[in-house]
Structure 1
Amino acid sequence: KNLGDPAPGMFSVEIDPDGSNQYIISWNKSVVYWGTGNWTGSSFPNMPELSPANTYPNTPYTYKFVNNDKETYFTYNVTDDRVLSRHAIGVSGQTQSLVWVESAQAWVLYFSQPKANCGVYGLCGVNSKCSGSALSSCSCLKGFSIRDPNSWNLGDQTAGCRRNVMLQCGSKSSAGGQQDRFYTIGSVKLPDKSQSIEATSIHSCKLACLSNCSCTAYSYNGTCSLWHSELMNLQDSTDGTMDSIYIRLAASELPNSRTKKWWIIGIIAGGFATLGLVVIVFYSLHGRRRISSMNHTDGSLITFKYSDLQILTKNFSERLGVGSFGSVFKGALPDTTAMAVKKLEGVRQGEKQFRAEVSTIGTIHHINLIQLLGFCSEGAKRLLVYEYMPNGSLDHHLFGSTGVSLSWSTRYQIAAGIAKGLAYLHEKCRDCIIHCDIKPQNILLDSSFTPKVADFGMAKLLGRDFSRVLTSMRGTIGYLAPEWISGEAITTKADVFSYGMMLFEIISGKRNGMHGGSFFPVLVARELVEGELHKLFGSESSDDMNLGELDRACKVACWCVQDSESSRPTMGEIVQILEGLVDVEMPPVPRYLQVLGQGVKSYEISSEMNQASN
């Protein structure tokens, strides 16, 4: 029920009572909010993480689903005695599988559904809002308070919230002669159980709600929707919908703008009398203080003026490099914190949309993702300010003549770190973010060679121009999944393919086409089958390598570049494999590698010659 009470709660898992061959999760035994999908004979479609042992990846579980005239049941067995696992549904309403990791002395989440907290029906109870991006998913609506604070604090918010002041419902005596009012909440997924009525405008929709004592809220998007009970399952929008809902509250719960009108006018008039003097003093001091106060201390994005960035970068005098979407320059904040400033090219979004997308990117924090410090949007100028990475990009260390030679251990940790960053973008963000341009140039290294994925979110910032810029950039084509060429829809598995192509280069320390006239991924795929991987590396290199890690990395890379995206693993699965939590089977040789090897090999050789001459 809650973290302090093991009694049954509102959420339950059961075989579908309607007769389908699947498991369902329901709220209060009445509302089904997730299902496994019907058993296929070997797996449940909506549970790819718990795939059977004879498919990719090789998990430590075997599964059996029995359905006959006498009984219906599902079992899973752990085939590896070293693996300790448990499966439960908790106060979050999510069904979860966890594996005990001895080295960390902790339970590590292996599988969870629904993925998003707000995908759980009734998680926050009535008269509350679920926000998937917040530290605490549930919050009471304005004018409401937590109904059961003790359970709420112990993780069970299903009791929801209660109204602070009862609605007046046409009675004006106790509200100072005022009707109930409405509080607006924008960009939401509307609650369940609305009633649609005919209304020609938002005003007539509002009046229809006010005229009915049981009406608790309304919404209007061309159709008037009314709610006549407590609000259930109100959520922040996650699919870009911009619906607004108007919550009915007693007049005393909202400020009375009419009675304060003349008071506000008086303050404004008085303010104008001193404003002239204040403005003169303010602007004389502000110019000096603004730049000195631009230190990144509380995690919020800094809004830079273009003139400020000119000063902080010494008029963009030190160029760090040219990326896919613009040039990057070094600068420093007043507290000497180094920063990298990217001048974006090809951005045609309006300022409002650009700021909205940048704000979303700025909320994403992970040790393996580059941190956005701030931005500038003035006229046609669009700039992004990032934390500075002293060890530059991964390609300099893998391919550059002046780069630091990376040990196998460092390269393997870099590969695992990149996978963790991408898994976070794909599976942990409020909205799934597909990077679309994974390559060594977009992996930056900090002072301790911790990898940071850069340029995520560019697809949204550039909009329609992204594909044109991406496919025309030198050095990108060898990492692109076949979906880009065939015109199929781009999913997270496109990033998985690019990661695989890059992983081959991390393994070898060379470009894929620079292996004595052979294409390295093809060599790996063939030698894996023969069990002769060590032949691809000199004795000096192989002595430095952990052969178990090498075998895992090569198999992962080959699985990542399979022709069919459904055969490729997720980034979360890749992390588990690289960390040794699950085994991986022998991959087939991808047909696409043969085709890609012919074109990319010559492309990369000419690209190397061009770069050497520049």
Structure 2
Amino acid sequence: MGAKQIISCFSPILCFICFFINIRFSLGADSISSYQSLSGDKTIVSSGGNFQLGFFQPGNFSKYYIGIWFKKVSPQTIVWVANRHRSVTDKYSSELKVVDGNLVLFDETHTEVWSTNTKSHESYNVVAVLLDEGNLVLRNGSSNTTVWQSWDYPSDTYLPGGYIGEHKRANRKQILTSWKNSEDPTPGLYTLELDTLGNQFLIRRNRSQQIWTTGAWNGQIFTNIPEMTERRDSYFTYISNATSAYFTYTASITTRQIMDYNGQVKHLIWLPNEHKWSVIWSEPKTQCQVNASCGAYGVCNNISSPFCNCLPAFKSRFEKSWTLGDYSGGCERRMELKCSNVNTTSRSADIFQEHSYVKWPDNPQALSAVNSVGCKFNCLSNISCTAYAYYEKACFTWNGDLFNMQQLSVDDNSGRIIYIRVHSSEFPKNKMKNIYTVVGGSIATVLVFSCLLLIAIRRYKLGRATEIAKAAEGASITAKADVYSYGMMLFEFVSGRRNSEQTRDGKVNFFPASAANVIINGGDILTILDPILNRAADVEEVTNICRVACWCIQEDENVRPTMSQIVHILEGVLKVDMPPDPRGLQVFMDNEDDIVFFTDKPSSPDMRIQSNPSWASSLVEEQYINKKM
């Protein structure tokens, strides 16, 4: 029989054998040996059918990884990842195979992506086997000795039989490292590792900052995890000898421990009847106890979903990561603060936004201030200050980014109020909760003299100010007259309208008189506030402003404060006492039907020009007030 005939006869048999081997390999073989490879949708399954290894795609991206997952659990739950640092883009042209005694992953260009990197002396007889405990081992075929195993290089999951600790001779630690987010197995921020004393676990952030500890091991439980006593299906053991020190555990049910990407270590069990994982315990116990879990300017809330949100006027710094549950990048301002932009020419100001029932951020600085107004100005005058709070007659400020803010419930007595510095354009003027805002180095000074400048400009444009007439007659123009005008301006600032308004029936409503009556008689100060603000203001601030205004409009100019005194009051350096009743305003209260404002001297005794109440009040100190005959 010729060679061609022999080949022809054996060809069907060879094809059948190859087909059988391929089917056997793809339908549940637990190993990869030399001259075999795994690619595409092929997998290997442990002998007992508990675990499966193959390519997986964690998100809607062209990124594939070699991983191990529970075979009998759905949805897919990954317990180990080989190529965490580098993915492949095409699983069908990529290959996982044994080469020169190592298990190696090649990408579509046949570039090595990941390898076990062992130094086996029998490279031709090495096989990779997936065990039924979820451990992938590389064995020497002739001696059946293990030369490498995945449990020595855990990802984020700690399985029964696995271990966390240290191989002393190899100088190698077994550490759980979180995923970056729910769809990215790249190493994240958090690690779970054994401390140097070897009797407790630590959670670290960036491998440096310790954020939690299990407490010491007492032989049965960790002291900071009393929940361990409630279950008897998992048993931990601490082993320490000359070669290694580690914790391991056994379990009678399907279970796992993970270092979650949000900074908590969680112990979970599988509920087969409910087809879901159940968290038995997690540490730290609440998400908001994880240090900086929401990043800068993020607010944590244990009862909301998601548990992290950005402050108003802020946005997530990394939107993609935020949507995937990784909030560690925090938030950033939508609009840069005025004080931090040296090129700005806008006359807008930074303002403070009130937040109630919150746990304050870390690292407050205590300052001396007479009242909340002074506390606010202390912060405004410091370009690094991003927030302030006034509590129990003490002033607290924060510089730089704010971390670990937490939103509390309204019935939580530990909740406090804090004021966050934001750009004024974030909130329309008619919705601002703050009564006044200022900018610049000496904040109060800028406010005072800017207002006086506006008053002077308006007087100039109107051309009817009686100072002109007085000057023409040789009368002096005093600084206290400007103080009077400033007081009138403050009243308009509080009410949100002109001081003098004419009603439909022809009567005149003069706001300073009404406001002074409330202040002197101890009435509800917020009733005179601009109604658009809906009483959303600091009572002490409004009271101080109104008291200053009342002092400014006293009949006796000798008792009116100077502008420097006003600055010190608004800065909180000086206290402002209860002012006396500005008796000159009583004429407005007693004769509201008969008030006529004159803005110029009449050319004849019978000639009178009635002013427009919308602007006459700002010139009241220079107007003649007469009763109708």
| Length-normalised TM-score, structure 2 | 0.38
Which is richer in strand?
Answer: 2
Q: Which has the larger radius of gyration?
A: 2
| Length-normalised TM-score, structure 1 | 0.39
Which is richer in helix?
Answer: 1
